[in-house]
Structures are given as structure tokens and as C-alpha cells.
Structure 1
Amino acid sequence: MSPARRRGLADEVADRIREAIFSGAYPPGAQLREVELSGAMDVSRGPVREGLRLLEREGLVRVAWHRGATVTTLSATDVAELHTLRGALEDLAVHHVVDRATDEDLNLLAKTAAAMDRADDPHEMVRCDIAFHDAVFAAAGHQRLAEAWDAIRCQVHLFLLTRISLSTEDYLGLVPGEHHDLVAALRARDADAALALFAAHRRNAFEVIASGTERPASGK
């Protein structure tokens, strides 16, 4: 029973650190010190170390022997890969939503988009954005596609956190409207319009990040 409890505690620790990252308490590049975290959460360093390893597998944390753990800072290559992979997954999801989504699925998408109208903080807007895309993949009715999204979901959240760390100009005003347009295109079962709108939505975030992210010295 003890090993199971330790794994459960590590999961709880990971959840709390993840939440702190998503809330902006630990921005990209921030140091995650085991001693401080264990003291703040009143746990030993073992579960903290295991929790950080779980977050490392999600892509949220990077652990190096000479630096310890830090919140992942996305490189230009990371940004480009996430942008293109997310695009490939979302394009497939859009086709499936247009073909298969029920009225209930589409109503849920509209509800998640409406939540953005009430968001008054960039971090809350990012949460709403991720929740909307969760609903898109759920509405697609494709289990393995949903699992593929889930595998990069935290990294996409970090991608959007990076976006708002670089600029929040017009962010709260523009994002809700973009998502209402996405819902309208999906309701109309217009795959071409939906694909174009999703691509434009992704591109808006990508261009902000790409303009503020240095490429590696190798140029790769």
C-alpha cells in the first residue's frame, strides 16, 4: 500500500504545481526548488521530486542536474512543432465535428465560448481557450484523436501562457469573438470556413510568440 500512496501524493503535488504554473505564479523559466515546494505543501522532498518528474513528462518542467527544475521555456523549435502538430490534430477534429457532432455537442461548444465573455484576466482566458478546444476534441468522437490532444494539451497551455507573457494587447477583447465565429462555422457544418477560422486563430497566437522567441544558435 505504501508505494501506491506515494504515487498518489506525487500526483497531488504535480496537480498543485501545475495549477501554480497555469495561474502565472511560476512563469516560464522560473526555478522550482524542491525545498521551497516541500515546505509550502507540507510534504517531504520525495513526492515533490516525483511530482516534478511527472510534470517533466508532460513537457511543463525541465530538470537538469546543474540547474534543478525550471518551468519550461519554449524554444522557437518547440513553438513551431506545437503549432504544426496542434494544427494537424485540430484539422482532423474539425472534419469529425462537422460530420458527427450532435446538437448537444455543439451547444456545449457554444457554452464554453460564452464563458470567455466573462473572463477578465488573461490567465483565465487561456483556461477558457483550452476548455473550448477540449470540447472540440470531445465532440469529434474520436478516442485516439482525443488522446493525442491530451498528450500535448499541457504544452499547448504553456504555449498560450507564453503568448500572453509577450503581449496581452487586445487579447481579452479579441479571443471571445474568434471563438464565437468558430462555433458558428461548426454549427453551419461548413468545414472549409471552420478550417480557415481555426487556422487564423492558431496563427494569431503563433505570430505573437514567434516574433518574441529567439531561435537556437544552430538555427534549427
Structure 2
Amino acid sequence: MTRRLELTPGGPSGRRTLAEEAAAELHELILSGELPSGTALRLEELAKRLDMSQMPIREGLRRMQALGLVEIIPHKGAWVRELSTEDLRDTHETRLALETLAVRAAATRFAESDATLARAALAEHVRLSRAGDIIASRQAHTEFHFAIYRAGGSRWLPRAIEPVWQNSERYRFGSRQTKARIEQTRREHQAILDACVAHDEAGADAALREHLEGAFRRISETMARRSSQD
């Protein structure tokens, strides 16, 4: 049931164009860390790596630029945006501002159909995390959150959240998915969902803040440890 968030929906036939395929491949390479921050993105090398012509690769890079994952400067080139503690904090604070607004809106009008979608995504996220399927579990995690945010009824809030969400995903490197970590994350997600089902705006806000603050602390500590080892 998982799917990429809005990235490569395909045309009327449901089939992806080459540009959509390129965007999906580049997206996964960046989020997985196979193309680390600061990596120069040369069309010829990427075309060879992805077995495509340069034209869809160029369009795929533009789509990654729109998501904030890639920087493109005319006549200079393109590269994966750098990771930094400053960018992490900026990303975190922007997510807090947008996602708490979205979850409050969702809590006011959460329907059973919304709960069904969110429960299914959460169950899939837990199952895939336990199975060690990092890519699919990440997609299910995204679908859980956006199933809730879309329930708020705004056309624009989920779209505004998407770029900063995608940037935050780059910071989920090296996190060990222990049984305890998976269970803690499940409880945090369940608390957000329960508050929405109960139409508890303040509770949904508090549960989401706790979830995001915990992730921010863990990632900050990981970055600090890595920096001290360099």
C-alpha cells in the first residue's frame, strides 16, 4: 500500500515517464546516502549510472531542486545540498510550524476513512521496520503522516510541508532500528493518531511535537558524535 509521496505518480496510464523514473532514482540515491551531501551531480556520470539519456536526468535534477535536495547554479553545475546543524535546526523549526498547524486542522475534522488510511500506513510502517526494509518503511512512514495532514482539508499545507519533509529525510542516516526504537516510534505515532481520532487538537499538537523533538535530539546527537570523530 506504500507509495512515494507525490514524486512520481505517472500519467493517465499509471506509467512513469523517463523524467519521473529519473526523479525517483535520484530521490532514493540522495535519501539513502548513496549520493552524499556535497556530491557533484554530473549529467554524463548519472546517465551512465541510471542507464538513461541526459535529458530525463536533467529534468529529474530540476525536480530534486524543487524539493530542496539539490542545488543547481547555471554554468557551475549541480550538487546534493550540504547537511549541517544549522540546516537541520532550520528544517526542524519549519516542520514544527507547518506540521503542528496541519495536525491541528486534521484533528478538527478527522473522519473514520482518514483513521483507516492512517492505521493501515502505521501498521505497514511497523511491519516493514521490523523486517528491516528501510526504503519501504520510510515510504510507509511518509504515508502515515500525510494521511493525517491531508485530513485537514487544506490543498496547500501538505504541499508546503513536502519540501521540508524531504529535506529532513536526508538526516535519517545511520539510525539503528532496534526493537526498542521501533516500539517507541510506534507509540509516538499511535499517540498522534489517537488524538486525531478523539478530535483533540491540543493533544495532537503535543504528541506531534514530542515526536519531532525526539527525532531532532537523536539526529543532533548523531551529528555531534560524527563531528567529534572527524
- TM band (smaller chain): 0.7 to 0.9
Indicate the SS of the match to 2:113: helix
Q: CA RMSD, aligned part only?
A: 2.7
Q: Distance in 2 between matches of 1:38 and 1:65?
A: 19
How far off is 1:153 after superposition? 3.3
> For residues 67 and 207 of structure 1, do their structure 2 counterparts lie closer, same or farther at Cα, with a shift above 3 Å needed?
farther
* 1:80 has 2:89 as partner: yes
Could you say which residue in structure 1 is the equivalent of 2:204?
194
How far off is 1:23 after superposition? 4.4
| Count of aligned residue pairs for this structure pair | 204
Kept in 2: contact 1:99–1:189 (CA 8 A): yes
> For residues 70 and 43 of structure 1, do their structure 2 counterparts lie closer, same or farther at Cα, with a shift above 3 Å needed?
same
Could you say which residue in structure 1 is the equivalent of 2:156?
144
Q: Percent identity?
A: 31
Q: Distance in 2 between matches of 1:191 and 1:213?
A: 33
Could you say which residue in structure 2 is the equivalent of 1:113?
122
Q: Distance in 1 between matches of 2:83 and 2:125?
A: 26
Tell me which moved more, 83-92 or 172-181. Answer: 172-181
- What TM-score comes out, normalization by structure 1 length? 0.78
Indicate the SS of the match to 1:137: helix
* 1:179 has 2:175 as partner: no
> For residues 83 and 211 of structure 1, do their structure 2 counterparts lie closer, same or farther at Cα, with a shift above 3 Å needed?
same
1:44-123 superposed matches below 5 A: 44-63=53-72, 68-119=77-128, 120-121=131-132, 122-123=134-135
Q: Which runs of 5+ in 1 are unaligned?
A: 1-7, 215-220
- What TM-score comes out, normalization by structure 2 length? 0.75
Kept in 1: contact 2:27–2:64 (CA 8 A): yes
> For residues 23 and 75 of structure 1, do their structure 2 counterparts lie closer, same or farther at Cα, with a shift above 3 Å needed?
closer
Q: Which runs of 5+ in 2 are unaligned?
A: 1-16, 225-230
- More helix per residue: 1
Tell me which moved more, 82-91 or 147-156. Answer: 147-156
